[in-house]
Amino acid sequence: MSKTAVITGATSGIGAVYARRFAQQGYDLIITGRKKEVIQKLADDISARNKVKVTVIIAEFAKDGDIQKVLDAVKGRDDVEVLINNAGQSGYDRHFEELDIAEHENLVKVHEIAPMRLISVVLPGMIQRKKGTIINVASIAGFLPLPSLSVYCGVKAFLKLYTQCLHLELRDKGIKVQALCPGYTNTNWGKEYFSQRLQDEPSMMKGMDPEKVVDYSLKALKKNKWVCVPGMSNRMMTTFLPSASGGMYYSMGKRMTPFR
């Protein structure tokens, strides 16, 4: 019987690495992204190397119609063993009040609504088969309030806590659930998003390669760890910074944010 992994936001970076890893394990893939030529090239390469079927869906998860396209492709299948909610949208280089509320609502839709809808579609089959894996890609931003990233930090915090609750609900039903919370990762998005000043400060922005991030995730999954924070510096940051004094935290948070 075939087995399928659904991976959103798989054009490049962490999502593309997950796609290659699961294809190497013999999974057929359903992958989503926004850049048609790039993701199709990835799909063709994965299919040729691993002799698996790769279905590409071009989708922008800020749009209900595009979310529905993916739901329609997944709903009713009895072979979806893996769901990785990796599609994301960056925060904005503006304070909350400087942006139209619709922009903030897009972040909520991409990071909260789309993952919940996808999980609601694949979960009944996983429960019936008593087998499945769900990975929600959150962020260390879900631990750390940062200026100019109010909604981004909020949706990542939701995704982390939501995943932890799912783990408690599903732990006895044969389903593994993980919140992956990476820090700065060396992807095209990261290079475009963070200022050059921060990229030039190794102590502040020493990024991890996406391959390493996925290594941490899959190793933690085997150990049934429900929250995975890759990298010692990221784990220290998420452990100690939230308990720092107000003045110390404000100073560190101001330096960490990519904006003003």
Q: Give the residue among 158, 150, 156, 154 at the shortest CA–CA distance from 259.
A: 150
- Is the Cβ–Cβ distance between 142 and 163 less than 8 Å? no
Tell me the β-bridge partners of 58.
33
Q: Which of 18, 152, 162, 216 is catalytic?
A: 152
CA angle 171, 175, 179 (to 5 degrees): 80
**Helix orientation angle between 101-108 and 150-170, rounded to the nearest 10 degrees:** 20
Active site residue 152: yes
Question: Active-site residues: which are they?
Answer: 152
